[in-house]
Amino acid sequence: MAKILVTGGCGYIGSHTIVDLINNGFEVVSIDNLSRSQASILDGVKKITGKEIQNFEVDLSNDGELKSIYKDLKDIDGIIHFAAYKAVGESVEHPLLYYKNNIGSLVNILEASKALNIPHFVFSSSCTIYGNVQKLPVDENAPMGMAESPYGMTKQMGEAIVNDFVKANADHQSILLRYFNPVGAHYSAEIGELPIGVPANLVPYITQTAMGIRQELTIFGDDYDTRDGSCIRDYVHVMDIANAHTKALQYMLDGKMQQNCDVFNLGTGNGVSVLEAVASFEKVNNLSLNYKIGPRRQGDVVAVYADNSKAIQQLGWQVQYDLDEMMRSAWEWQKKLSS
């Protein structure tokens, strides 16, 4: 049984990935300083899997704090690195916060992987690295555009750092997973997205508006060059994203890597507009959502969706959930939170 360290394990994608790892026979430990998450999420993980997950509450961007737990991390076979700030709008307002946290924590965890001889590393990247693309769907060979936000820039820089690290350390391997727009929740409604404060992502804002926590949803722009004027994204269920991390680790552990660093898109391959996502939520949950059209938001790209054929062919990954299931599970999670 391989043992995997998940950074940001109390976060949204991290917690769902822990569930998928356990369901596929891995042992898991977590690092999460709980600055953007809650430890109670691991209670949900335990209800689903029956496993108690050990979490080390240290700040990865603090080198001394991380080194203080090196002694507890000596039998780790691989790392999945989620821990990062992720709000596009916040990164535009506070760029130095994002560079310090996201880049500093990555450098420190890579130093730990070298010091502790942990050979397999999965990096949580993002489709934001593509910027405004010229060709859709976008594949992994598309050139990186100018990042539209400091958040996107930290992912571009992060990929470069990981690439340089494995080039200099031939006994290490890494997979960069570029996800598009993870949404939804575990079908049990025991874990899901738990934004701190006002949600920065569309779907939790939708569910909080439907619950009455938010007065209304603002759709940022209806004058883009798209079929209905709103931005187009590739929404993908969080459990599908989670499973791709498990498959990426298995791919490395099974010795299938063709090169020391490889990259895979994680999306459904379908572009969905913001207005279409709202319509799906209303339909599947039989609700009417209070929303308005607002001005464009700085940092948003017009349209992006994935060519996911590489992940399907090489990792054996398959998309299991459609948009309606994403919206149904997200609402079930919101109702559980509000009960």
Q: What are the distances in angstroms from CA 310 to CA 121, 123, 173, 212?
A: 19, 17, 18, 41
3-state secondary structure at position 290: coil
What's the token pair of residue 219? Answer: 């759709």
Distance CA 92, CA 300 (A): 11
3.40.50.720, 3.30.300.30, 3.30.310.40, 3.40.50.2020: CATH of 3-185+237-267+307-320: 3.40.50.720
Q: Which helix (H) or strand (E) segment is 235 a member of?
A: strand 235-237
Cross-strand pairs, 80: 6, 122
Burial class (CB in 10 A: 0-12, 13-18, 19+), 229: middle
Residue 32's CB is within 10 A of a number of other CB atoms, namely 27
Position 143 scores a pLDDT of: 92
Position 140 scores a pLDDT of: 97
Position 220 scores a pLDDT of: 96
Distance CA 42, CA 190 (A): 10
Catalytic amino acids?
151
Position 147 scores a pLDDT of: 85
Q: At what angle do helices 202-211 and 274-285 cross, to 10 degrees?
A: 40
Predicted confidence pLDDT, tens digits, the chain (339 residues):
899 999 999 999 999 999 999 999 999 999 999 999 999 999 999 999 999 999 999 999 999 999 999 999 989 999 999 999 998 888 999 999 999 999 999 999 999 999 999 999 999 999 988 888 889 999 999 999 888 889 999 999 999 999 999 999 999 999 999 999 999 999 999 999 998 888 888 999 999 999 999 999 999 999 999 999 999 999 999 999 999 999 999 999 999 999 999 999 999 999 999 999 999 999 999 999 999 999 998 878 899 999 999 999 999 999 999 999 999 999 999 999 998
